Structure 1
Amino acid sequence: MALTAAASAREILTRLHDVMAKRLPAQAKLNAVVEIIGTVLNSEVCSIYLLREGVLELFATRGLKQEAVHVTKLALGEGLVGTIAANVETLNLDEATSHPNFVHNPETGEERFHSFAGVPIIRRERSVGVLSVQHTDQRRYADVEIEALQTVAMVLSELIANAELIDPTGGASTRPQPTTATRAGGFKLVEGMAQGVAVFHQPRITIEHTVAEDTEAERHRVYAAFDKMRAQIERMASQAEFGVGGEHDEVLATYKMFAYDEGWSRRINEAIDSGLTAEAAIERVQQRTRMRMREIDDALLRDRMHDLEDLSNRLLRIVSGQLGTAAQMGLRQDSILIARNLGPAELLEYDRRRLKGVVLEEGSLTAHVTIVARAMGVPVLGRVRDVRRLIAEGDMLLLDVGEESLFIRPTSAMVEVFEAKLALSQKRRAAFAQLRNEIPITRDGHRVQVMVNAGLRDDLAALDLTGADGIGLFRTEFQFLVSATLPQREAQRRLYKDVLDAAGDRAVTFRTVDIGGDKALPYLNHDEEGEEENPAMGWRALRLALDRNGLMKAQARALIEAGAGRTLNVMFPMVSEPWEFDQARALFETQRAWLAARGRKMPSEIRYGAMLEVPALAEVLDILLPRVDFLSIGTNDLTQFLFAADRAHPKLALRYDWLSPSILRFLKRVIDQASAAGVPVAVCGEMGGRPLEAMALIGLGIDRLSITPAAVGPIKAMVRSLDRAPLVEAMAGLLANPHGPLRDALTEWAVRHSVELA
Structure 2
Amino acid sequence: MSVSAAASAREILTRLHDVMASRSPAQAKLNAVVNVIGEALDSEVCSIYLLREGVLELFATRGLMEEAVHVTKLALGEGLVGTIARNVETLNLDEAARHPDFAYRPETGEDRFHSFAGVPIIRREEAVGVLAVQHVDPRPYADVEIEALQTVAMVMSELIANAGLIDGHGDNLTRPQSTASARASGFKLVEGMAAGAAVFHQPRIHIEHTVAEDTEAERHRVYAAFDKMRDQIDRMSSQAEFGVGGEHEEVLETYKMFAYDEGWARRINEAIDSGLTAEAAIERVQQRTRMRMREIGDPLLRDRMHDLEDLSNRLIRIVSGQLGTAAQMGLRGDSILIARNLGPAELLEYDRRRLKGVILEEGSLTAHVTIVARAMGIPMLGRVRDIRTLIGEGDRLLLDSGEETVMIRPGADMEEAFEAKLLVSQKRRAKFAELKSEAPMTLDGHRCTVMVNAGLRDDVAALDLTGADGIGLFRTEFQFLVSATLPQRERQMRLYKDVLDAAGSRPVIFRTVDIGGDKALPYLDHDRHGEEENPAMGWRALRLALERDGLMKAQARALIEAAAGRQLNVMFPMVSEPWEFDEARALFEAQRDWLAGRGRKMPNQIRFGVMLEVPALAETIDMLLPRLDFLSIGTNDLTQFLFAADRAHPKLALRYDWMSPAILRFVRRIVRQADAAGVPVAVCGEMGGRPIECMALLGVGIDRVSITPAAVGPIKAMVRSLDREKLMAYMAQLLEHPPRSLRAPLTDWAAANKVELA
Instruction: State the TM bucket, normalised to the shorter chain.
Output: 0.7 to 0.9
Could you tell me how far apart the structure 1 residues matched to 2:254 and 2:356 are? Answer: 25
Could you tell me how far apart the structure 2 residues matched to 1:10 and 1:653 are? Answer: 45
Q: CA deviation at 1:400?
A: 5.7
Counterpart residue number, 2:329: 329
Contact (CA 8 Å) 2:122, 2:153: kept in 1 or not? no
Q: How do 1:461-610 and structure 2 match up within 5 A? A: 461-526=461-526, 528-610=528-610
Could you tell me how far apart the structure 2 residues matched to 1:271 and 1:228 are? Answer: 19
Could you tell me how far apart the structure 1 residues matched to 2:304 and 2:713 are? Answer: 35
Could you tell me how far apart the structure 1 residues matched to 2:153 and 2:632 are? Answer: 57
Counterpart residue number, 1:447: 447
CA separation of 1:99/1:739 partners in 2, compared to 1, >3 Å: closer, same or farther?
closer
CA separation of 1:352/1:527 partners in 2, compared to 1, >3 Å: closer, same or farther?
farther
Counterpart residue number, 1:681: 681
Could you tell me how far apart the structure 2 residues matched to 1:129 and 1:673 are? Answer: 54
Q: CA deviation at 1:252?
A: 3.8
Letter of the 1:680 partner, please give it.
P
Letter of the 1:264 partner, please give it.
I
Q: Secondary structure at the match of 2:568?
A: strand
Could you tell me how far apart the structure 1 residues matched to 2:536 and 2:26 are? Answer: 54
Could you tell me how far apart the structure 1 residues matched to 2:351 and 2:498 are? Answer: 29
Could you tell me how far apart the structure 2 residues matched to 1:706 and 1:170 are? Answer: 39
Which of 217, 220, 233 pairs up with 1:236? Answer: 233
Bigger drift between 436-445 and 181-190 goes to 181-190
Counterpart residue number, 1:110: none
Q: CA deviation at 1:611?
A: 2.0
Contact (CA 8 Å) 2:432, 2:713: kept in 1 or not? yes
CA separation of 1:145/1:525 partners in 2, compared to 1, >3 Å: closer, same or farther?
closer
Bigger drift between 731-740 and 169-178 goes to 169-178
Counterpart residue number, 1:298: 295
Q: Secondary structure at the match of 2:658?
A: coil
**1:662 aligned to 2:646?**
no
Letter of the 1:700 partner, please give it.
V
Q: CA deviation at 1:507?
A: 2.4
Q: CA deviation at 1:627?
A: 0.8
Which of 212, 220, 225 pairs up with 1:223? Answer: 220
Counterpart residue number, 2:434: 434
CA separation of 1:90/1:584 partners in 2, compared to 1, >3 Å: closer, same or farther?
closer
Contact (CA 8 Å) 2:126, 2:169: kept in 1 or not? no
Q: CA deviation at 1:632?
A: 1.9
Q: CA deviation at 1:458?
A: 2.8
Q: CA deviation at 1:431?
A: 0.7
Normalising by structure 2, we get a TM-score of: 0.74
Counterpart residue number, 1:635: 635
Aligned-residue identity in percent: 64
Bigger drift between 566-575 and 651-660 goes to 651-660
Contact (CA 8 Å) 1:121, 1:156: kept in 2 or not? no
Contact (CA 8 Å) 2:13, 2:211: kept in 1 or not? no
Contact (CA 8 Å) 1:496, 1:562: kept in 2 or not? yes
Contact (CA 8 Å) 2:174, 2:392: kept in 1 or not? no
Bigger drift between 347-356 and 479-488 goes to 347-356
Give CA-to-partner distance per residue, 1:411-430, whole Å, 9 cap, x none: 44555556666654443232
Contact (CA 8 Å) 1:629, 1:679: kept in 2 or not? yes
Q: CA deviation at 1:296?
A: 9.2
Normalising by structure 1, we get a TM-score of: 0.74
Structure with max Cα Rg: 1
Q: Secondary structure at the match of 1:435?
A: helix
Bigger drift between 443-452 and 415-424 goes to 415-424
Counterpart residue number, 2:625: 625
Bigger drift between 291-300 and 626-635 goes to 291-300
CA separation of 1:396/1:639 partners in 2, compared to 1, >3 Å: closer, same or farther?
same
Give CA-to-partner distance per residue, 1:434-468, whole Å, 9 cap, x none: 12222222333222222222223233222223222
Q: CA deviation at 1:402?
A: 6.7
What runs of 5+ residues in structure 1 fail to find an aligned partner?
20-28, 61-67, 92-97, 105-117, 133-139, 273-277
Could you tell me how far apart the structure 2 residues matched to 1:262 and 1:233 are? Answer: 16
Q: Secondary structure at the match of 2:679?
A: coil
Q: CA deviation at 1:521?
A: 3.1
Could you tell me how far apart the structure 2 residues matched to 1:435 and 1:42 are? Answer: 63
Q: How do 1:54-73 and structure 2 match up within 5 A? A: none
Counterpart residue number, 2:704: 704
CA separation of 1:527/1:583 partners in 2, compared to 1, >3 Å: closer, same or farther?
farther
Letter of the 1:298 partner, please give it.
E
Letter of the 1:631 partner, please give it.
L
**1:264 aligned to 2:261?**
no
Q: CA deviation at 1:5?
A: 4.2
Letter of the 2:444 partner, please give it.
D
Letter of the 2:670 partner, please give it.
V
Counterpart residue number, 1:727: 727
Contact (CA 8 Å) 2:516, 2:541: kept in 1 or not? yes
Give CA-to-partner distance per residue, 1:31-82, whole Å, 9 cap, x none: 99879979x9899xxx99999999999999xxxxxxx9xxx999996999x9
Give CA-to-partner distance per residue, 1:63-110, whole Å, 9 cap, x none: xxxxx9xxx999996999x9899889999xxxxxx9956879xxxxxx
CA separation of 1:395/1:735 partners in 2, compared to 1, >3 Å: closer, same or farther?
same
Contact (CA 8 Å) 1:442, 1:724: kept in 2 or not? yes
CA RMSD of aligned residues (A): 5.6
Letter of the 2:681 partner, please give it.
V
Could you tell me how far apart the structure 2 residues matched to 1:173 and 1:465 are? Answer: 39
Q: CA deviation at 1:508?
A: 2.4
Give CA-to-partner distance per residue, 1:494-531, whole Å, 9 cap, x none: 22223322332222222222233233333333363333
Contact (CA 8 Å) 2:449, 2:704: kept in 1 or not? yes
Q: CA deviation at 1:578?
A: 1.5
Letter of the 1:236 partner, please give it.
I
Could you tell me how far apart the structure 1 residues matched to 2:547 and 2:404 are? Answer: 39
Q: CA deviation at 1:590?
A: 1.0
Could you tell me how far apart the structure 2 residues matched to 1:656 and 1:51 are? Answer: 34
Could you tell me how far apart the structure 1 residues matched to 2:192 and 2:531 are? Answer: 35
Could you tell me how far apart the structure 1 residues matched to 2:569 and 2:105 are? Answer: 57
Give CA-to-partner distance per residue, 1:553-591, whole Å, 9 cap, x none: 222222212222222222222222111111111111111
Letter of the 2:233 partner, please give it.
M
Counterpart residue number, 2:114: none
Give CA-to-partner distance per residue, 1:310-338, whole Å, 9 cap, x none: 66654554455432222323334444433
Could you tell me how far apart the structure 2 residues matched to 1:708 and 1:668 are? Answer: 23
Q: Secondary structure at the match of 2:437?
A: coil
Bigger drift between 329-338 and 260-269 goes to 260-269
CA separation of 1:652/1:207 partners in 2, compared to 1, >3 Å: closer, same or farther?
closer
Letter of the 1:619 partner, please give it.
E
Bigger drift between 344-353 and 296-305 goes to 296-305
Could you tell me how far apart the structure 2 residues matched to 1:447 and 1:35 are? Answer: 69
Counterpart residue number, 1:26: none
Letter of the 2:230 partner, please give it.
I
Contact (CA 8 Å) 1:131, 1:153: kept in 2 or not? no
Could you tell me how far apart the structure 1 residues matched to 2:640 and 2:129 are? Answer: 44
Counterpart residue number, 1:613: 613
Q: CA deviation at 1:119?
A: 12
Q: Secondary structure at the match of 1:445?
A: coil
What runs of 5+ residues in structure 2 fail to find an aligned partner?
39-46, 61-66, 92-101, 109-117, 133-140, 241-245
May I ask how many residue pairs the two structures share in their alignment? 707
Q: Secondary structure at the match of 1:746?
A: helix
Contact (CA 8 Å) 2:282, 2:316: kept in 1 or not? no
CA separation of 1:462/1:353 partners in 2, compared to 1, >3 Å: closer, same or farther?
farther
Bigger drift between 407-416 and 631-640 goes to 407-416
CA separation of 1:649/1:396 partners in 2, compared to 1, >3 Å: closer, same or farther?
farther
Counterpart residue number, 2:690: 690
Q: CA deviation at 1:378?
A: 6.0
Could you tell me how far apart the structure 2 residues matched to 1:536 and 1:146 are? Answer: 26
Give CA-to-partner distance per residue, 1:707-756, whole Å, 9 cap, x none: 22222223323333333333333333333343443333333333333333
CA separation of 1:544/1:151 partners in 2, compared to 1, >3 Å: closer, same or farther?
closer
Q: How do 1:352-391 and structure 2 match up within 5 A? A: 352=352, 354-360=354-360, 386-391=386-391
